[in-house]
């Protein structure tokens, strides 16, 4: 098992040609404003002028035991014994806060709105009750909508783990993969469809998906879905479903726009929020200011040469910039892969797999990798380019410090 990364936290930063590997992180940054660099979006978005001080935050290192004590054990939930065994095989000992509080309401058939920090077990929180629902009635059909193909595929993989041996079948309908194969799969019996809004809308218009048969829908990472411009596609999907349905709405952030959509899509939902802060308490956050005469690439290369940086996710602003940075790091001798919108699905899945398995040190990505993805043991997240919004920042750095492990997030500021 990979050892947990040794993190080093210091308060000032210096770098010159005489000390190429000595990087000390500044914790007191004189606010000079931020460029608020944006990223390409399907719809126009306002760019935030983010105070760099918000990129600095010490991880909580107290040794006091603040362990969460759940009200339930998994055995207490009214779900099939086979699911209880699958949970144990997955290595889950006790429910996480979101699972503990929201699963009883989903099992009872209520609409729910779940707000929780990233990496807190939201996927299992809705999958376990929904699989149980299918086990009780194999005619049940469920639709799960996710903003990105990576997240949809990840949900499908987790579903297959929990439901193995139960003759529960799913179809993953995402862009970037062969439409013909998905159409063929939809002609076979299935219980769940997991997909992205654009591809689902396409298949619905081709009359390959009959929404009237679906009485349950999950909107996962809903805020990201709407940020990406999928609100109209999502509304098209929801409006085609029966009025009497169970709607499960999950998000890590909540805005006034999202509140309006919640009122539109759900009926008297049970709200469960276990979100206590914007960013994980396990993530040490700091900035690296690029001084005159330095380049971001040189600074990044020196960081990656240090032992602590053993599994690093780097975020860039544009597809072209991400690919260029990945190539340059490869030329500097680092093992790298990249993920962005110009990659085929096969290329993106291969890059993710290599990074998850720690066969490459660095994954360079656009914000397509900022939401939902559960990658174990990411030692560092580096914001090579400043995110467009603070919410984007929260989701980027949520890829490290997951499941009570420690992580570090660094933001480059020129």
Contact 407, 282 (CB under 8 A): yes
Would you give per-residue pLDDT tens digits along the chain (414 residues)? Answer: 333 333 333 333 433 333 333 343 433 332 222 222 233 344 445 567 777 777 777 655 433 335 668 899 999 999 999 999 999 998 888 998 999 999 999 999 999 999 876 667 899 999 999 999 999 999 999 999 999 888 899 999 999 999 999 999 999 999 888 899 999 999 999 999 999 999 999 999 999 999 999 999 999 988 888 877 899 999 999 999 999 999 999 987 777 888 998 999 999 999 998 865 555 677 889 999 998 888 999 999 999 999 999 999 999 999 999 999 999 999 999 999 999 988 888 898 899 899 999 999 999 999 888 776 778 889 999 999 998 888 788 888 888 877 667 889 999 998
- Residue 187: both structure tokens together: 């002609």
Cα 259 from Cα 299, distance rounded (Å): 42
Cα 355 from Cα 291, distance rounded (Å): 31
Per DSSP, helices labelled H in 214-365 are 222-227, 231-239, 256-265, 296-304, 319-331, 345-356
Domains of the chain by start residue, with CATH: 52-60+281-413 (3.40.50.300), 74-273 (3.40.50.300)
At residue 26, φ and ψ (nearest 5 deg) are: -80, 140
């Amino acid at each position: 098992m990979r050892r947990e990364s040794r993190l080093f936290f210091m308060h000032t930063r210096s770098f010159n040609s005489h000390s190429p590997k000595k990087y000390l992180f500044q914790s007191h940054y004189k606010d000079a404003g931020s460029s608020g660099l944006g990223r390409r979006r399907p719809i126009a978005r306002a760019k935030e002028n983010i105070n760099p001080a918000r990129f600095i935050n010490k991880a909580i290192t107290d040794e006091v035991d603040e362990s969460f004590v759940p009200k339930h054990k998994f055995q207490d939930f009214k779900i099939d014994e086979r699911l209880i065994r699958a949970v144990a095989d997955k290595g889950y000992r006790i429910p996480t806060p979101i699972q503990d509080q929201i699963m009883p309401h989903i099992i009872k058939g209520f609409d729910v709105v779940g707000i929780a920090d990233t990496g807190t077990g939201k996927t299992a929180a809705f999958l376990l009750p929904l699989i149980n629902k299918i086990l009780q009635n194999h005619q049940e059909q469920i639709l799960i909508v996710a903003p990105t193909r990576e997240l949809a595929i990840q949900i499908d993989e987790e579903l297959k783990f929990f439901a193995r041996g139960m003759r529960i079948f799913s179809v993953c309908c995402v862009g970037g993969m062969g439409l013909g194969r998905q159409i063929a799969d939809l002609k076979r019996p299935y219980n769940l469809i997991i997909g992205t809004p654009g591809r689902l809308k396409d298949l619905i218009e081709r009359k390959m998906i009959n929404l009237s048969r679906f009485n349950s829908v999950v909107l996962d990472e809903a805020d990201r879905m709407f940020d990406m411009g999928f609100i109209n596609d999502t509304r098209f999907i929801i409006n085609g479903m029966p009025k009497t349905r169970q709607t499960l709405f999950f998000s890590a952030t909540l805005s006034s726009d999202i509140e309006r959509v919640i009122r539109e899509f759900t009926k008297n939902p049970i709200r469960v929020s276990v979100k206590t802060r914007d960013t994980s308490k396990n993530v040490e956050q700091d900035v690296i200011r690029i001084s005159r005469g330095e380049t971001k690439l040189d600074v990044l290369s020196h960081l990656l040469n240090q032992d602590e940086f053993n599994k690093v996710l780097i975020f860039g602003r544009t597809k072209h910039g991400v690919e260029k940075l990945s190539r340059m790091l490869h030329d500097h001798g680092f093992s790298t892969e990249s993920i962005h919108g110009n990659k085929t699905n096969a290329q993106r899945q291969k890059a993710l797999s290599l990074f998850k398995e720690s066969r490459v040190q660095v994954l360079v990505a656009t914000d397509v990798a900022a939401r939902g993805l559960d990658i174990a043991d990411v030692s560092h997240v580096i914001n090579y380019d400043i995110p467009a919004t603070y919410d984007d920042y929260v989701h980027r750095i949520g890829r490290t410090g997951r499941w009570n492990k420690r992580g570090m997030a660094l933001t480059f500021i020129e």
